Amino acid sequence: MRKLRTWRAYLTERFAANPEEAIRYLKFSFEEYQVDRDTPLLLLALRTVVESQGGISVLAKKTGIAPEPLSDTLSSDEAPRIDTFSAILNGLGCRFLIEPIADTDHGFKPDREEGTNVNTAVEKGVEQVVEPHLS
């Protein structure tokens, strides 16, 4: 007879065997959060991944956050502070990534290609502004 389990238990087991898949799941969950703003659902996804990677105690050691506040943060219905969220993601081996939204126009048009050194691009921009335009 086949053992029945919850969907979350299935995901936890699957992500324990494949941490890269867990990170893809977090990425997808965060993308969905940006659409529907469902904080409890995002935190449930985060808790599932945390459990798959050893649980609160393992994450607490990696982040330097005490287990009880960490557990409280992940069990809350409120969005965690950005520094806490960032520490949790770092403890799970990933990070925030800022990128433009492809199908909207917010007036910001990135002017650099992938791999461009930001410092060089900024220096070029400063040179263009500082140098007088002679006619």
Domain of 65, in residue numbers: 7-100
With a threshold of 0.85, does the pTM exceed it? no
Calpha distance 67→60 (Å, rounded): 5
**Domains: count for the chain:** 1
pLDDT, tens digit, for every residue of 2-41?
778 899 999 999 999 999 999 999 999 999 999 999 999 9
- Residue 54 belongs to a domain: yes
Residue 58 belongs to a domain: yes
Q: Classify residue 85: in a domain, yes or no.
A: yes
How far is the C-alpha of 89 from the C-alpha of 93, rounded, in Å?
Answer: 6
Q: How many residues does the chain have?
A: 135
Does residue 105 register a pLDDT over 70? Answer: no
* Other C-beta atoms lying within 10 Å of the C-beta of residue 79: 15
- Establish if 133 belongs to a structural domain: no
**Segment (H or E) for 127:** helix 118-130
Residue 123 lies in a domain: no
> Residues 69-93: pLDDT tens digits?
999 999 999 999 999 999 999 999 9
